Amino acid sequence: MGNQPHINYLRIEKAIEYIIENYKAQPSLQDISQSVELSPAHFQRLFQSWAGVSPKQFVRYLSSSFAKSKLAEQNSLLDTALSTGLSGSSRLHDMFITIEGMTPGEYKSGGESLKINYEYSGSPFGKIIVASTGKGICHIAFNEDEKAALAELTAMFPKAKFSQQRDHLQDSAMAIFKKDWNQLDQIKLHLYGTPFQIKIWESLLKIPESALVTYKDVATVIGSSSSSRAVGTAIGKNPIAYLIPCHRVIQTSGQLGGYRWGLSRKSAIIGWEAAKKEGLDGS
């Protein structure tokens, strides 16, 4: 990805934070550009390049009314899209990304039997650390601080053997940020979690790109409609940023709710996907 998209994202994130804080006042382009210390013209070009739409259009994607309209669209999909998955070049789904749960033996004694490669990368949403075992991706997290990112990873697997090196599993995972998904290889994930957590994470793979669903929706789909709180906890422990799209799960009210990697980043991803979807639809 290089450094420039990462630098640009930090400015975009700051602008999104300003928009979230001042949304009710409907901030102007001048207001938003001043918050990131750029001229309106420069900021407009930067934002258009990153999101594919103008800041004004993007503000609409961050509104609760937009979120509620997206939730309403999913009513007819709950028994189909979310229960069976959807194919297509613009969606993450269970035929494209596969999850293999770690065995108790692989995780025993802090993962001492695991050899884990890790590397840092750029993305449209800031710096990423991506880690893999011989079987698949075991961890992806957004973090601007490389030392803190590595510390979080090693805390998950304190007795594993770590090596900073890139491999083909990581390359396949990072390719997800490209606009054309037709040439992507299948992505394999190798995750440690309870059967319930893995069931939740697998269900998230079936949410179409740019769609939004609620925690209750996910609980209903897995046949546990009274377990919204437990579902929310499992979603919050998702170890794979973006690929397992927990950012597409929001509150019934239309509010975005929490996100392990920050509410501003969740807002950025939701708006970015919405802009890409509308661009593909030609609207």
Q: Work out the percent of the chain whose per-residue pLDDT is above 90.
A: 44
pLDDT, tens digit, for every residue of 72-101? Answer: 776 544 444 444 443 333 344 444 688 888
Distances (CA, A) of 86 to 79, 101, 104, 199, 246: 12, 22, 32, 17, 17
**Given the residues 246, 268, 274, 275, the one annotated as active site:** 246
246 is catalytic: yes
For residue 168, the domain's CATH number is 1.10.10.10
CA pair distance 276, 152, nearest whole angstrom: 31
User: Per the structure, how many domains does the chain have?
Assistant: 2
- Domain co-membership, 27 together with 145: no
pLDDT at 91: 43
pLDDT at 97: 82
pLDDT band at 127 (very low <50, low <70, confident <90, very high): very high
pLDDT, tens digit, for every residue of 198-232? Answer: 999 988 988 887 788 889 888 888 887 778 889 99
Which of 50, 182, 33, 39 has its CA nearest to residue 122?
A: 50
DSSP 21-82: HHGGG---HHHHHHHTT--HHHHHHHHHHHHSS-HHHHHHHTSHHHHHHHHHHGGGTTTTHH
Phi, psi of 199 (to 5 degrees): -60, -40
Residue 83 belongs to what domain range?
A: 70-281
Which range scores top for mean pLDDT: 14-28, 103-117, 154-168, 247-261?
Answer: 154-168
Number of H helices, E strands in the chain: 13, 8
For residue 36, the domain's CATH number is 1.10.10
- Domain co-membership, 190 together with 174: yes
CB atoms within 10 A of CB 242: 23
pLDDT at 179: 54
3-state secondary structure 117-142: EEEEECCCCCCEEEEECCCCEEEEEE
- Domain co-membership, 57 together with 78: no
- Of 186 and 266, the one with more pLDDT: 266
- Domain co-membership, 144 together with 272: yes
Phi, psi of 50 (to 5 degrees): -75, -50
pLDDT band at 1 (very low <50, low <70, confident <90, very high): very low
Task: Using a cut of 0.95, tell me whether the model's pTM lies above it.
Answer: no
Phi, psi of 99 (to 5 degrees): -110, 130
pLDDT at 88: 35
